[in-house]
Amino acid sequence: MVFDAVAESGGFTAAADRLGVAKAKVSVQVARLEAQLDTALFVRTTRKVGLTDAGRRLHEECKPLLQGIQEAIDRAGREEGVLTGTLRIATSVDHAVQALAPAVAEFAALHPALQIDLRTGDRVVDLVEEGIDLAIRLGWLRDSSLRAVKLGEFDQVAVTSPAYLKRAGRPKQPEDLAAHNWIALMLLPTPFTWKFTKRGETRTVQVKSRLRVDSPGALRTMLRQGAGVSVLDAYSTREDLESGKLVRLFPDWALPRGGIHAVFPPGRHMPPRVRQFVDFYRTRLT
């Protein structure tokens, strides 16, 4: 299991996190296995750990056996009706605060034998390298090698603050945005191109930005401060729109809807704890 964890995650630290043990223990067990086989299984660099040819052959031969063992453990857990082990979930800070964290807390209460590690951040993490079982991602997926299930959708809205409108004037039509201070969210695949639709009519708007951010939370704060105009998901802006801190632009025009996806590492067995959480979370989004 230790050998497989290092091979799958590409590092001793990630493997230790996945197994819930100290990194030193992983290193010692790998070293013992290499000594018993009298061959190097991994090539170690300062940035990554990769399999040698011998290690790759061993991993390919052992993988069906390890998967069989894991499936047997999972079956035993299902028979007992108990979820065990560790479930590692990654998502953005905003989505964790607004929706995922409460669901995780509820799921943890339903399964007291299960450990859950919720990791938040606005960068897109490498699921394999960091030992993540499941990522909840919003928007449009770029990596086609990942397995993904769509859980739901969300609306996008163009917003700004009353202070900005007072200073710069209100844009009348979507194409007017080209002349306004746009704040670009660089996490998006096309942060400078937007399509607005109304009753079958579509207008494509190209914007330029002096301000660029990589965090939806930071973008929302800058918008509240009157720094410019941008697009956010309707869910995260609801309270600001109701309180008047932000103002929606072009309410008659619709932007493309974004997706909420459950994303899994490629080619890996999906434990019941992952499958059950995805099913559970889907019900919370409907």
Give the total number of structural domains in the chain: 3
- C-alpha 228/C-alpha 246 separation (Å) is 11
Looking at the structure, do residues 139 and 195 belong to the same domain, yes or no?
no
Spatial neighbors of 159 by CB under 8 A, at least 6 apart, are 223, 229, 230, 231, 232, 237, 240, 241, 246, 247, 248, 249
Does 166 share its domain with 127? no
Mean pLDDT score, 233-247: 94
Residue 182 sits at φ, ψ, to 5 deg, of -90, 135
Average pLDDT over residues 173-194: 94
Kindly report the CATH number assigned to the domain that includes residue 106: 3.40.190.10
Residue at which a domain ends, from 63, 80, 97:
80
Q: What is the pLDDT of residues 85-116, one digit of tens each?
A: 889 999 998 899 889 999 999 999 999 999 99
Distance in angstroms between the alpha carbons of the first and the last residue of the chain: 38
Give a yes or no: residue 37 inside a domain. yes
160 and 248 both lie in a single domain: yes
DSSP assignment of 51-67: E-HHHHHHHHHHHHHHH
Specify whether 142 is located in the same domain as 171. no
Residue 192 sits in a domain whose CATH number is: 3.40.190.290
Q: Answer yes or no: do 199 and 223 share one domain.
A: yes
User: What is residue 278's predicted lDDT score, i.e. its pLDDT?
Assistant: 96
Structure tokens at 237: 């802006």
Task: Tell whether 261 is covered by a domain.
Answer: no
- The model's pLDDT over 127-167, given as tens digits with 9 standing for 90+, comes to 877 778 999 998 877 655 568 899 999 999 999 999 999 99
Quote the pLDDT of residue 127.
Answer: 83
Task: Say whether both 273 and 203 belong to one domain.
Answer: no
Stretch among 76-85, 190-199, 253-262 having the lowest mean pLDDT: 76-85
Both 108 and 190 in one domain: the answer is no
CA torsion angle 21 27 30 32 (round to 10)? -110
Domain that holds residue 28: 2-80
Q: Quote the pLDDT of residue 143.
A: 57
Query: Nearest Cα to 240, choosing from 191, 91, 232, 174?
Result: 232
- Asked whether residue 1 carries a pLDDT value surpassing 90, the answer given is no
